[in-house]
Structures are given as structure tokens and as C-alpha cells.
Amino acid sequence: MKEVNGEEIIRKAISKGCDAAEIFIKSSRGVSVEAKNGKVEALEASLDFGIALRVIKKQKIGFSFTTNPDGVEKIIDEAVEGAEWTNKDEFVGLPDCMQSGELSVFDNRIETLKDEDIIRDAILLEESSLSFDERIKKVRKAEVSVGLGSTAIVSSKGINTSYKSSYYAAHVTALAQDAGGDSQMGWDYAGSRRRGDIDIKAVGKEASRRAIELLGSRKISAVRVPVVLSTAVAVDFLEILSASLSSEAVQKQRSFLTEKVGRNIISSLIDIIDDGTMAWGTGTKPVDDEGVPTLNKTLVSKGILNGYLYNTYTAKKDGVSSTGNAVRGFKSLPGVGVTNLYLKPHGDQKSAVRSQNGTNNNTLLKSMSRGILILGAMGVHTANPISGDFSVGISGLWIENGEAAYPVKEAVMSGNILDLFKKVEAVGSDLRFYGSTGSPSLLIGDMDISA
């Protein structure tokens, strides 16, 4: 592929009357393998490349992109012309050049993997799930995905940075069936920038274990009881909360955390961290997508909101500094997003260790005289982004005197996201990441459960 000279593109854009210019170059390639019946069900290869140019002229922004290295001259003209037609905005600008550190985001082992290696892992994933228990009748999806990427950012403000990245992920869904004909599904996922972090067999077994423990599920009557959110369910709710931590959402009045900085918003037992420097995290990178160094920042400390996530534009609008949370593809201007966002007990550094251990935290269950361990929640994404209200279908285990009594199904839990996190009474030590968001198990005070 033709090499792209970012500095030359910047010089040409400036020569056409622009006050500032930035080039963003992204390329990626990946392979995804799905196994079925010990053979390859599907193998997909992907290759993506793009160049984006952002220019600023008299406080007006112009933007253009191309997927063809030979199309650079065209995007320069398009971006410059585009700046003539956009509205003036006093907050547009590019970040200054800042020193960034070296971070662990590229695994050489992934680069040397062959298709046969990925196929072998996908087949092993299916086998480990099927062999867990004779009641596992099918594996609907056993998929392993591998990817490599490179990012380069050059700007007229002195930024000239590039880095390579990698990722490896495994995902599987298992179907269990008992003698009575009841069927239940379970799933598991693990992902990292490093191959050695992923235990393929453990992912397959965990998916099957989740399916098995729900066999024989029964309905329950309406009740108000404490619940334990498993790591996966806690992450679902934390992702809704994280969307409201975006300064972009706050400034557009689409956040239930507007004007709450300095106030207690959730339980004083927990902190919420966004750490772009975490070794091998799937959201880790040395700089954000504007070239600003990523940071390890405590957004919520002892339940108190310290601040929001910012890119350069939203930071300038609020008169603060970017937090290194600009995210983008080459087809769009930078938005705001998390790096590696996770919840942990306040002051407990041990639980910040990344874990692939999917077992439930029994300590939390032992403290319950009666309640529900929630293993699955459907419809969390439908929570109201303005108010935080939600009503979701749940499945899990009914707990009596600290022990699982029987599985439950077709129950509904209703409430409010902030109220739910305010009711956190204990935090497990089983922190686990699903993508770039992580959480331990959480013991929540009385919640409304309907049949």
C-alpha cells in the first residue's frame, strides 16, 4: 500500500489558508473463526484502511476522508471547501503536543498467529463447552477473533505520533437441556490485547456452567428483596452509567449526571475509574484519537462525582483540559468515549487487578437471608438516558440463607440506575472486564421484582 506522508498533507492544507490541520490514519486487519461440530463453520477476514483530514479556518471546521491512499489531494480540497460552509464555532480547535508514555498494547504473539492457530482455538472453545456436562446439547456460537491495527496522528500543532495495537477475543453460547425438556442458554466472553490473558477452555466451561445452573427455572411472585448482580450484569448497568459520564452527553442535556459534579451520586463504598494506561486492556492506548495522552483518572470517588470524560472540543467548551477520551473512526469527527472503565471498592487497590475468573463471589451470597443472584438481564440498553429509569427482564438464582435454592425466570426488575448504585451494600473481589468495561459482583439493597 502506498505510504502516506502526514506532514506533507498538513503543509498543503495550511498552504490553502487553513489555520490548523490534523490527519488521522487508521488501518486494521482481522480474522474471525466460528466452529461447529468440530469443524470451521465460518471464517471471515477483514481489512480496513482510512485517512481523515480535519481543518480549521477562521473558527470553522472542514472534514473529509478517503479509503484510498491516492485520494489524498481530493480530501484536502474537500476539507478546505467544507470549512467555507460550516458555522463559526469558537470552541473548535486542535490539542497541543504533549508527551505520552509507552504502554503495552501490542502482542507479537498475535502477529505471528496463523489461520490454523485461530481455527484450533475456536474448535477447542466448542469442545470445552460441549464436554462440560452431558446436558449441554449444542453450542450455538463458538467464535475466536484476532486483530491487528495501527494508528497515526499528525497535526499542525506539533503532534506526530503512531502506535500498533492487537486484540484477541473468544465468545461462546451454550445450550443446556434437562430430562424434563427445559432448555437454557449460557454465554461467556473474554478479550484482551494479549493472547496469553485468554483461557479458551475456561471461557467454554463458564458458558456451559451458566446454562446448567438455570435449568429447571421457575417463576416467582412479586417481591422486594436484595439482589447480587453478577459481573456481567453489573457491567451492563455500569455501561449505562458511563454514557452519562460523557461531557458530550452532558452538554447536549442527554445525561442524568448534569450539574452533579461534587455531589454524592452513588454509594460511598465505590469508586469508578477510567484508565487508558492499564496494561493490555482492550481500551488501552498511549494517546486518544486526537493525540492527547490517555490518563488514569478517578471519575467517582467514594460515591462523589469528580468530573466528566472530555475530548478537546468539549473540554474547551467547559473551560477544562481534555481527559484523553477522544474516540473516532476515520469516517467521523472525534466524539467522547471510555478507555478502560471499571468499578471498584473505595480504597481497595487489590480488586483493580484484571481477572478472567468468572466464578461468583460467594461472600456476597452468604450475607443474604433471601434474595436473587442475577445472572442475566435483558433490555438494560433500553434504560432512559435522561432519567436513568429502567425495567428489565432478569434470570438467576433464588437465594435462601446464603445458598442457591432454585433458578428463577421471567421476572422483571424495575428502578433507576443511580438509585441502584446508591444501594450498593457490598462489593465482590471478582473484578472482570467485558470489553472495555469491568465490574466485580455487587450486593444491592432491596429492589422491586415483579413476575
Tell me: the pLDDT tens digits for 329-378? 999 999 999 999 999 998 754 433 333 334 446 789 998 999 999 999 99
Is the pLDDT reported for residue 185 higher than 90?
A: yes
CATH number for the domain that contains residue 61 = 3.30.2290.10
Do 203 and 255 reside in the same domain of the chain?
no
Is residue 1 domain-resident?
Answer: no
The domain boundary residue, chosen from 189, 213, 237: 213
124 assigned to some structural domain: yes
pLDDT at res. 101: 84
Total number of domains constituting the chain = 2
| pLDDT digits 0-9 by tens, 129-182 | 999 999 999 999 999 999 999 999 999 999 999 999 999 999 999 999 998 889
The contacts of residue 319 (CB under 8 Å, 6+ apart) are none
Share of residues in the chain with pLDDT > 90 (%): 91
Residue 200 shares a structural domain with residue 233: no
Residue 122: inside a domain: yes
Residues 260 and 208 in one domain: no
- Contact criterion met (CB below 8 Å) for 35 and 172: no
209 and 229 inside one domain: no
- CA angle, 230 as apex, 229 and 231 as ends, to 5°? 115
Same domain, 421 and 285: yes
Contact between 447 and 423 under an 8 Å Cβ cutoff? The reply is: yes
Q: Are 389 and 383 in contact (CB under 8 A)?
A: yes
| Spatial separation of the C-alpha atoms in residues 2 and 275, rounded to whole Å | 35
**Per-residue model confidence (pLDDT) at position 388:** 93
Does residue 82 lie in a domain region?
A: yes
Q: Which pLDDT score, from 0 to 100, does residue 341 have?
A: 98
Give the position of cell 436484595: 226
Last residue of a domain, one of 213, 242, 271: 213
> Quick one: 325 and 416 in the same domain?
yes
What's residue 350's pLDDT?
A: 42
Identify whether residues 401 and 353 lie together within a single domain. yes
Beta-strand relationship, 326-327 and 39-57? unpaired
Predicted confidence at residue 347, as pLDDT, reads 74
The candidate with the shortest Cα–Cα distance to 285, out of 26, 22, 109, is 26
Asked if pLDDT for residue 63 goes beyond 70, the answer is yes
Inter-residue contact 314 to 288 (CB < 8 Å): no
108: nearest Cα among 42, 193, 187: 193
Residues 279 and 190 occupy one common structural domain? no
Q: Are residues 258 and 190 part of one domain?
A: no
Phi, psi of 215 (to 5 degrees): -65, 140
Determine the structural domain holding residue 292 and report its residue range.
223-450
C-alpha cell at 376: 442475566
Q: Enumerate the β-bridge partners of residue 433.
A: 438
pLDDT in tens, 9-47: 999 999 999 999 999 999 999 999 999 999 999 999 999
Q: What is the mean pLDDT of the chain?
A: 94
Residue 444 falls inside a structural domain: yes
- Predicted confidence at residue 226, as pLDDT, reads 97
Q: Which helix (H) or strand (E) holds 152?
A: strand 136-155
In a domain, 353, yes or no: yes
Q: Number of helices and strands (H, E) in the chain?
A: 10, 20
- For residue 333, which amino acid is it? L
Amino acid at 369: S
179 and 267 together in one domain = no
CA dihedral 242→247→252→257, nearest 10 degrees, is: 50
Is residue 65 included in any domain, yes or no? yes
Q: What is the CA radius of gyration of the chain?
A: 24
β-sheet bridge partners, residue 23:
53, 154
Helices (H), 131-213: 200-213
- Say if residue 240 is in the same domain as residue 99: no
Q: Do residues 326 and 186 share a domain?
A: no
377 CB-near residues (< 8 Å, 6+ apart): 233, 236, 237, 392, 393, 394, 413
Predicted confidence at residue 1, as pLDDT, reads 59
Beta strands in 202-247 (DSSP E): 223-229
Last residue of a domain, one of 184, 213, 242: 213
pLDDT of residue 181: 87
Which DSSP category does 2 fall into?
Answer: P
3-state secondary structure of 274: strand
